[in-house]
Amino acid sequence: MAETDLRESKSKTILHIKKRNGTIVDFEQSKISNAIYKALVATGKGDHDLAELLASKLVNKIIKSDYLESIHKDHVLSVEDVQDMVESILIEEGLAETAKAYILYRHERRKLREVKMKILNKKDLDEVDKSLDVNSLRVLSSRYLLRDNNGEIIEGPKQLFERVAILVAISDVIHDPRIFDFKGHYSQNLSEAEVYYKKLDDFDNKLKIGGYYLNKYHFESLIRSYIDEARSGKMKVSFKDLLRLIAEGQMNSHVNKILEYYNLMVSNEFLPNTPTLMNAGARLGQLSACFVLDMPDDMYSIMKSSTDAAMIFKSGGGVGINYSDLRPEGDIVASTSGVASGPTSFMQIIDSITDVVKQGGKRRGANMGILESWHPDIEKFITMKTKPGMYENFNVSVGIWSDFWQSLVNKEDHKYSLKNPRTKATMKNIDSHQLMELIALSAWKSAEPGVIFFDNINKYNPCINAKGGPLRATNPCGEQSLYPYESCNLGSINLSKFVKRKADGMYEFDWPKYEQSIRKATRFLDNIIDVNKYPVEEIDVNTKLTRRIGLGIMGIADLLFMLRIPYDSKEGYEFMSKLAETLSYFSMDESVVIAKSRGAFPLFEKTEYKNGSVPLSGYYEIPKDLHCYDWDSLIGKIKTYGIRNSWTTTIAPTGTLSMISDVSNGVEPVFALVFEKRVTVGRFFYTNKVFENALKENGLYTDEILLKIANNYGSVRGIAEIPEWMQRVFVTAIDIHWADHIMAQAVWQKWISNAIAKTINMPGDVTVEDVKCAYLLAHEFGLKGVTIYRDGSRNEQVLHITGDDREKRFHVAPSKYLRDFVKANVNEPYVIEQISPIFRDYGATEQKSKANEGIDILLKSDITETSPSLGKTKSELFTNSISTTENDKEACPVCKNFLIITEGCNMCIECGFSSCGAG
């Protein structure tokens, strides 16, 4: 009898579930327990064990009853069947409120499905559509999904990620050891391959790798990649033989790589920069976000750079240009017997081109304009963006070298020479202190210029001899230094995906999974270099000489929330340091692995890598006993095998990428835990999802609490109803002292080979002296560049994150970790003297009066009083009001909502528009 019951029980096992679109999938009990848990959380009864128990009871009840056979003889239940039974089991267990919450949950899910189908113009949703939230789909549909000539969407997110993954895997096909040898000297008929450029339409969706068909743009990249390697003698077979191998299915093993890259993106563990998502496997084919052009002092070169910039904008990239080689305004022009108009006038050319070209593309081009501190036009450059409406397509930065820094910290003599770039002769001498004050004052007023520390950028530059000189320019957001006509493709790992839940319900970080994704993403980005369709031939050549990639991160704030680690704490800084070191260590280690089979970057033999150098200050400046990994062993492997990529890590702006992934930007803390959004149908609150879950799990989630947090500038500091541990863990940008923002950037910078896009957020009542001290601290901490944003300092005022009854309930002071770090590591007497007031224990009242006094003092002593060579006074910088109004705010050019400032870029949180090119 017992054996009969057991056989019957087994025969009634739920094997499959019929989904709404009619497909049959395996039954997963975990999905039922997750749904029950969400309903329990909604009623303040969040209990994982109870959810598991109720799910098990439900499954056992179905198996033991005749319900399954009476409804579906094939043991297949529909989703609706299961959901109906979940409602029943909750009521039977006396959980009426939870049952009600579950019914509401079903209703909301149904509405959500309808909204998603409308956004994507689809009748059914696939698994990828369901995994992404509504905001992610809106961003993807507005900017990334391909459309036909009528503007209709012709692909979904799944198809987007597939076309990207197929393109990336083409490099793996080309480098298959059966057909490729980087040490070889093979001769192939290139013209035979080039003929196929005329046959792209004939090969559209004709060849496939496994079950994935190559469209004509994939096929075009296959031709281009083959020719590139065959030209250097590395291809063992002819192009026709390669096509035959693919057609016969002998390359189908690479379907595993396609799936690897696809899953990396679909899982939201990693996303490449915007141009890759937009253009991979599509007409433009340009995959990089960051470019640098040069600007030599002759008209032909100036106009060529302008034309090349237009081509880059058209393809979706951003441009950085150092204008310091242009002769100053008023200098002689021998060919015309006239006078030069100066660097800023030529910036207007690029600014105008950006305006024109952006009309035809999916996003506006972005620029970085740089002038070095020794240039005679430096003052005009510093102040040119203090007037609204000037150079709106530019971020601008002052380039600083060690000579300016030495003049600044020298107690005896602050004289600094401005030199004509044409003749190298000194044109005038100025006071370096006054020039730094002018930079600080302009940034205080307009959030520009930024400062780029070229001495720190080149301190550990391994290519300085191989490339014939130092790096002198960066991409639009300053995080990626590049040589002229060089590009870099970026990508970001979503740190919030690397947590494991422990038995006690708390989270821990999954270090092995993080390593695995770093390695996959490194190979992904290296492949992009090969399959990219560069907009200018010189960029193709120079990019492949150094094969620079920029692997970074996003979601650090969400990760720290889940781990309950305060951002600006000793634990937080040390944890971020290990994350950064891990990122660079395993990306470089994987780059060595790739070099073993594909070769090192071409300039490797001429670089300092051969002598054991690496572009990481942490290796040299952090004691070896504090390193997490054996760097000497890795350096030994680099010297033996070479390394595939000259630089591997960059922390880029991730504005749109983090919107797709629904996580915080880059290395930034969240700008608000709760903010109010007003739309035509009413008003609602946007809440950080990790924080929202914490509120619900602790029975604190109410509209009243959300309103109170929104009115507290999006912060929980000082709100009595919020437990102390939550106030400590859930910190926002405004909760963190500006000097701790610099500290966080410095912690990451130690182990990042390129640089970091981050905004140093300052409250509106800081002084110009605070801004100057931020620059001093940034240089002392080893930053490669810094962007200051004082709240209210731009006409496009940040998004209002507060309600009508806003009231700040807290004040902010530097963390103990920061104070200890400064005490132990800052030794320059001038810097110590300048920054010492920051670390006083002052309150809000003193802060306010200090701000007002600082401005008064600055306005009383014009720069021209002590340095006649600088033509504009401080008071003249204030001829325009610094106040902002609703009408002053810049609207998003895509959806017309207001922009916020994050990572030094203007970003729209509605549609994902970003003024910077990487996100």
Active site residues per annotation: 475, 477, 479
List the structure tokens of 724.
């102390």
How far apart are the C-alpha atoms of 904 and 789, rounded to whole Å?
Answer: 8
Whether 653 and 666 have beta carbons less than 8 Å apart is answered as yes
> If you search the block for the tokens 């007497």, which residue do you land on?
829
How far apart are the C-alpha atoms of 821 and 785, rounded to whole Å?
Answer: 20
List the structure tokens of 565.
């680690």
Whether 102 and 41 have beta carbons less than 8 Å apart is answered as no
Q: Is the dihedral of CA 123, 125, 130, 135 positive or negative?
A: negative
Long-range contacts of 12-15 (CB under 8 A, 24+ apart): 12/62, 12/63, 12/64, 12/68, 12/69, 12/75, 13/63, 13/75, 14/59, 14/62, 14/63, 14/68, 14/75, 14/77, 15/75, 15/76
How far apart are the C-alpha atoms of 584 and 580, rounded to whole Å?
Answer: 6
Whether 678 and 565 have beta carbons less than 8 Å apart is answered as no
How far apart are the C-alpha atoms of 723 and 735, rounded to whole Å?
Answer: 16
User: Is residue 739 within a helix (H) or strand (E), and if so which, with residue range?
Assistant: helix 738-749
How far apart are the C-alpha atoms of 157 and 150, rounded to whole Å?
Answer: 19
> If you search the block for the tokens 């057609």, which residue do you land on?
247
How far apart are the C-alpha atoms of 616 and 621, rounded to whole Å?
Answer: 9
User: Strand pairing partners for 209?
Assistant: 212
Residue type, 545: L
Q: Label the pairing between strands 785-790 and 450-453.
A: antiparallel
Q: What is the 3-state secondary structure (H, E, C) of 299-342?
A: HHHHHHHHHHHHHHHHHCCEEEEECCCCCCCCCEECCCCEECCC
Torsions phi, psi for 147 (to 5 deg):
-130, 160
Residue type, 255: V
Report the SS3 class of residue 377: coil
Whether 762 and 790 have beta carbons less than 8 Å apart is answered as yes
Q: Label the pairing between strands 682-687 and 674-679.
A: antiparallel
Q: Provide the 10 A C-beta neighbour count for residue 270.
A: 25
> What is the signed CA dihedral for 907, 913, 917, 919, rounded to 10 degrees?
80
Q: Provide the 10 A C-beta neighbour count for residue 78.
A: 15
> If you search the block for the tokens 């309903």, which residue do you land on?
39
Report the SS3 class of residue 718: coil
How far apart are the C-alpha atoms of 346 and 323, rounded to whole Å?
Answer: 9
Q: How far is CA 760 from CA 481, 651, 716, 734, in A?
A: 19, 15, 21, 10
Nearest to 406 by CA among 415, 398, 393, 419: 415
User: Is residue 18 within a helix (H) or strand (E), and if so which, with residue range?
Assistant: strand 16-18
List the structure tokens of 868.
């006649």
Q: List, as one string, the DSSP characters of 690-715.
A: HHHHHHHHTT---HHHHHHHHHTTT-
What's the gap between Cα 269 and its chain centre?
Answer: 13
Long-range contacts of 215-221 (CB under 8 A, 24+ apart): 215/163, 215/281, 217/167, 217/281, 217/282, 217/283, 217/285, 218/163, 218/166, 218/167, 218/170, 218/281, 220/285, 220/533, 221/167, 221/170, 221/285, 221/531, 221/533
Whether 293 and 387 have beta carbons less than 8 Å apart is answered as no
